[in-house]
Chains A and B, each alone.
Chain A
Amino acid sequence: MTGAVTQIGQAVINALAYLGGLAKLGLSAASYIFIAPFRGKPLRLQRAVTQAMETGVRALPILSLITFFIGLILALQAAYELKKFGALNYVASAVVISMSRELGPLITAIVVIGRSGSAFAAELGTMKVSEEIDALETMAISPVQFLVAPKFLAMIIMLPCLTTWANLMGVLGGSVFGVAQANFTLSGYVHASLDALALRDITTGLVKSFMFGATITAVGCYEGLTTGGGAEQVGRSTTAAVVTSIFMVIAVDLVFTALFFFVGGK
């Protein structure tokens, strides 16, 4: 019994230490992005743009395909119930609200975790193992400023952009069903989607995607920077980055959804 309590206590301490590490890294990167430029330490915009291309632009094809299918699946699933009530014309609003409030940000985050969160952990982990992080420190260059801050900047900008694109592709996917089975024209489906959408639906999704971007970067970079020695550890860090990021993104999603529900009343 005592052993179990000790183990639970230790697990809680480890989890808190991990969260503390993430918060410290995130705050440090944020200070390099938002404060340091005003104190004569310029932002590495070139590195951030390169990162944004890799994280954002190159994710577009796969994200488009996935969210198009998700939109179509949502329409099919919604139609299954709506048809019983003769309310197939509500399929457009069901799809657009589900996408913009929840599935757009979440699916985008999961795609980005698979592409970029794992890549951050692998890149920084390999640099750690090959002493490149140590080399930066001996040259009086902060690894957080040089490596992590550009990734943070790229991710917190690109995640909301990708989410907006994902929402559009989801609506497009839903419109295939709407046009084929629910007597919509394409423009009629788009108008029905826009009519159903409130500004609040879009902003809540974008706020969440901003937080997801920060979370994925913090976890990926933290796992990379805390990699132990050897190639095997890099593999473990990469796996841990993906699993932990998915968990953390869903936890952040829950917190913000609850916050918007109780504070915003919706």
Chain B
Amino acid sequence: MALFTDQSSSPQSAPSDDAMISIRNLRVSYGEREILHGVNFDVLRGETMVILGGSGSGKSTLLRTLVGLEQPTSGEIWIRGKNTAAMTPEERNETRKKMGMSFQSGALFGSMTVGENVALPLKEHTRLADSTVDIMLRLKLEQVGLAGYEDYKPSQLSGGMKKRAAVARALAMDPEVLFFDEPSAGLDPIIAAGIDQLILELKKAFHMTIIVVTHELASAFLIADRMVLINKGNIVALGTTKEMQESQHPRVRQFLDRVPEPEVEQELDYLQMLTKDRSRRS
């Protein structure tokens, strides 16, 4: 059953048992400017949830908050049944070890080889022998189709290969949750399709919970079990891919049908639009 709402600030119930991540009344601000205005939704265990939204909608801020890079001004994030706000730094680190993140740019360490990048979390958080780490990093690189590239520097890789290497690093600690920030951004359609395929294969092989932030519609509909559409820091719609496709919500239709914002021809119209927007927000 799809949830469609323009008011995502209504309080939600306690997190359900089958939820891997539960977000409750989440508000995030940069200084005086509030980016997320009270977001509520659950990500179920083993599902691929795609967070859709236009540029500046708050989707990347939501992802950064989920992985702990931004602090919420209020609200709760429950991960694996634990409220992150109530966690000690040690508990937070333990939770982070169960999560992997693939950044938009890859964020591979330029001074290290691909192999050293993938091995880094293993060397930092485990007491495995070097030979074991070596075997594990080769396995991870094989999983993402980069076998034999362990001695390459990130600068020697193409855009798609960098993203794959970043996924291999995110997989290093066998995470339960995998986050992707714009996995197809900046890639040609063929390479982007390869990354989509990789996400599908990871889900099939490891039954991971996967959260993907993207605005690439073709990619989103291919990989998602459910999706959530964010607009100006509020959840507009949440549902399965089928429910989203059938939705008649104006913002969903505008986003999925790629309809541009209405043009403003007169200065007065523009002022009225701004005023309307502001009064709606307040």
Q: Could you tell me which A residues sit within 8 Å of B by CB distance?
A: 127, 130-132, 134-135, 137-141, 146
Contact = CB atoms under 8 A, between A and B. Distances in A.
A134 B107 contact: yes
Contacts of A138: 67-69, 96, 99-101
Contacts, number: 51
Given A134-B103, A134-B107, A141 B120 contact: yes
B107 A131 contact: yes
B156 interface: no
Contacts of B92: 140
Given A138-B69, A138-B96, A140-B96, A131 B121 contact: no
Contact count band on B: 20 to 34
Contacts of B67: 138
Contacts of A140: 92-94, 96-97, 121, 124-125
Interface string B60-97: 00001001110000000000000000000000111011
B69 A137 contact: yes
B55 interface: no
Contacts of A135: 101, 103, 107-109, 169
Contacts of B99: 138
Contacts of A137: 68-69, 96
B11 to A, nearest CB: 29
B246 to A, nearest CB: 36
A139 B96 contact: yes
A105 B251 CA distance: 65
A49 to B, nearest CB: 15
Contacts of B103: 131, 134-135
Given A135-B169, A139-B97, 16 more contacts: A130-B110, A131-B104, A131-B105, A132-B107, A132-B110, A134-B107, A135-B107, A138-B67, A138-B68, A138-B99, A139-B169, A140-B93, A140-B96, A141-B120, A141-B121, A141-B124
